[in-house]
Amino acid sequence: MRRNTFVVLMLCAVVAVALVAGAVLTPASAQGQRLVFASAGFEDNNRFWMISRPDHIQYDPFLETLLDVDPKTGEYVPRLAEKWSVSADLTEYTFHLRKNVPFHFGYGPFTAKDVVHSHAMMMRPEATATLAGFWRQVEEVKAVNDHQVVFRFKRPTTVMPYAASRAGDLRIVSKAQWDKEGDAGFDKRPAGTGSYRYVGRQQGLSITFERVDNHWKGERPAYKELVFRIAREDATRLALLLAGEAHVGDLPRELQKDAVKKGMKIHSSTFAVDWMTVYLGGQYYMPGDTAFKPDVAWTKKPVRQALNMGINRKELLNTAFAGRGSMAYVTGWNEQSEGYNPEWKSRFDQMYGFNPAKAKDLLKQAGYGPGQLKFKIIAFTEPGESEGPQVAEALGIYYKDIGVETEIEVLDWAKVRDMFRKKTIQCCIWPNIISWRPAEEWVRISYYSKSPNHHYENEFIDKQYDLLRNAIRPADRQRIARTIGDHLFDEFADIPLFWFSNEVVANPKMVAEWTYPGSGAGRSTHWHLIKPGK
């Protein structure tokens, strides 16, 4: 009897605590004009020097950069820097800064000291931002005067305008705030210069911004309040959109159709932003490389070509991506890249086009009859990129048709990366979606033998890359970049699939028009350009 009474009391206590906690934790609901974006998730944190480029979406409304990306042309245009110039040897970049730009929360005007400070944040030992490595190549950042700053690099580079723009990750923050409040104050409420300012976060749930009245450029977003909601489940984001709890959302292509049926509209970025390629492991062709295993089938070029010709790209695009994408001809290159060669497009069908009969032939010539070639396809998912396993399974089905046996292994991304960094991925091929980078950067990361990622390396590429990174004249750079691209194309270095624009789905009453380039860090950028419906 005492036992039962006790249990009753305990239960009541639990319930009471629960309900009280609920009341206490209820945040104030906001009134007024509010736009809610349902995002698949990002590393929510204010320390931008530790956050990867795609997750910089959370800074786009309130933290600005030296240069902007024009939403229609994709060019790097002035923003916090009025104009900039580069020395003849491409090692010194001078930025002339705009005057009378106020920081939020009264931390004073923007000056060159803030640029130096922001770069210093990037140089912290724990900095893991996408371009942190690039920023470490800066030998010196000097504030010549209050409105002029010079970046001097150890070696020539053309990447700086990209890195200093909205497409990069150097967010300009206030030195005055950091002097006064340190990291703690910055974590709590970072001051920026954007047309929105930071209001607050609910960790793992949302981040809220509110419109500023005195933006230096006079940008005036249509919505007073902007909220980014994190909902990692695709079905949940769709539910949020359809229930009207969110007005813009990031949906996989499969679900975009359903949203459109219910009256939503798709807003595409102006430019293609990401590409998908299937990488073939184990292509270490530097002489003397012990990681090279000659029994890996695709070290023979005909096999690589066969693996390309076995895939019906049009069908794959239509089924896995609802037809929303364009063909990729060489991994990492599109029309915006240095060294893009229009001939790739015209030659693509003949060399890479869907031809199962020819693929089987090539395999037989290489010594692989039906059923003799077996390998693994690795699939992984990242939030917002759920098509990986589906593509892997589709590949399995295509390859079965040309007599190749595959097995799908689902790993997590970090594990896959570990494998190709350590050169232990000879067993497998894996599809991956990567964001656009300048050609030189892409080659450095993936094809240069001293790169961390070793997707495909040989002496020829190494030589060309050395030439490229020291080349100063644009004509030279175009030529060398094209040579590298041609080589990758002719050698069937991997299996390029598609280029994708960034696409968000929105309620037309809330978002009638939105032009954004897609190349901005975070993909969905330029929130101030949203025009509401009538």
Q: Of 223-262, which residues contact another protein (CB under 8 A)?
A: 229-236, 238-240, 242-243, 245, 252, 254-255, 257-258
Does 403 bind another protein (CB under 8 A)? Our answer is no
Can you say whether the dihedral through the CA atoms of 199, 237, 203, 28 is positive or negative? positive
Distance separating alpha carbons of residues 231 and 37, to the nearest angstrom: 10
CB of 326 to another protein, least distance (A): 19
CB of 39 to another protein, least distance (A): 11
Distance separating alpha carbons of residues 410 and 456, to the nearest angstrom: 23
Q: Which contiguous run of DSSP H or E holds residue 419?
A: helix 413-421
CB of 455 to another protein, least distance (A): 10
The contact pattern for another protein, residues 258-287, with x = CB under 8 A and - = no contact, is x-----------------------------
Q: Pick the closer one to another protein by CB: 3 or 534.
A: 3
Kindly tell me which residue out of 140, 315, 459, 513 binds another protein, with binding defined by CB under 8 A: 315
CB of 70 to another protein, least distance (A): 25
- Window of 80-88, 284-292, 301-309, 394-402 that interacts with another protein by CB under 8 A: 394-402
CB of 183 to another protein, least distance (A): 6
Q: Pick the closer one to another protein by CB: 79 or 444.
A: 444
CB of 423 to another protein, least distance (A): 13
Q: Pick the closer one to another protein by CB: 21 or 472.
A: 21
Kindly tell me which residue out of 220, 421, 463, 509 binds another protein, with binding defined by CB under 8 A: 421
Q: Pick the closer one to another protein by CB: 18 or 357.
A: 18
CB of 485 to another protein, least distance (A): 19
Kindly tell me which residue out of 35, 42, 53, 101 binds another protein, with binding defined by CB under 8 A: 53
Tokens of 270: 């102006």
CB of 366 to another protein, least distance (A): 25
Residues 109-168 within binding reach of another protein (CB under 8 A): 125-126, 128-134
Tokens of 459: 């002496």
Residues 352-391 within binding reach of another protein (CB under 8 A): 379, 381, 386, 389-390
Closest by CA position to 197, among listed 29, 63, 107: 63
Residues 174-203 within binding reach of another protein (CB under 8 A): 183-184, 187, 202-203
The packing angle between helices 439-446 and 474-490, to 10°, is: 50
Q: Pick the closer one to another protein by CB: 482 or 523.
A: 523
Cβ proximity of 169 and 188 under 8 Å:
no
Cβ proximity of 489 and 328 under 8 Å:
no
- Window of 16-24, 65-73, 189-197, 297-305 that interacts with another protein by CB under 8 A: 16-24
Q: What is the DSSP string of 18-52?
A: HHHHHHHHPPPPP-SSEEEEEES-----S-GGGS-
Burial of 361 (0-12, 13-18, 19+ CB in 10 A): middle
User: What amino acid occupies position 150?
Assistant: V
Q: Pick the closer one to another protein by CB: 80 or 307.
A: 307
**Count of residues in contact with another protein, rule CB under 8 A:** 98
Q: What is the DSSP string of 194-249?
A: SSEEEEEEETTTEEEEEE-S--TT----S-SEEEEEE--SHHHHHHHHHTTS-SEE
**Residue 448 DSSP class:** S
Q: Pick the closer one to another protein by CB: 315 or 513.
A: 315
Cβ proximity of 441 and 433 under 8 Å:
no
Kindly tell me which residue out of 50, 322, 327, 512 binds another protein, with binding defined by CB under 8 A: 50
Residues 440-499 within binding reach of another protein (CB under 8 A): 441, 444-445, 452-453
Distance separating alpha carbons of residues 378 and 380, to the nearest angstrom: 7
- Window of 8-16, 67-75, 108-116, 339-347 that interacts with another protein by CB under 8 A: 8-16
- Contacts within 8 Å (CB) and 24+ apart, 86-90: 86/160, 88/472, 89/156, 89/472, 90/153, 90/156, 90/157, 90/158, 90/472
Can you say whether the dihedral through the CA atoms of 329, 335, 340, 345 is positive or negative? positive
Q: Pick the closer one to another protein by CB: 179 or 343.
A: 179
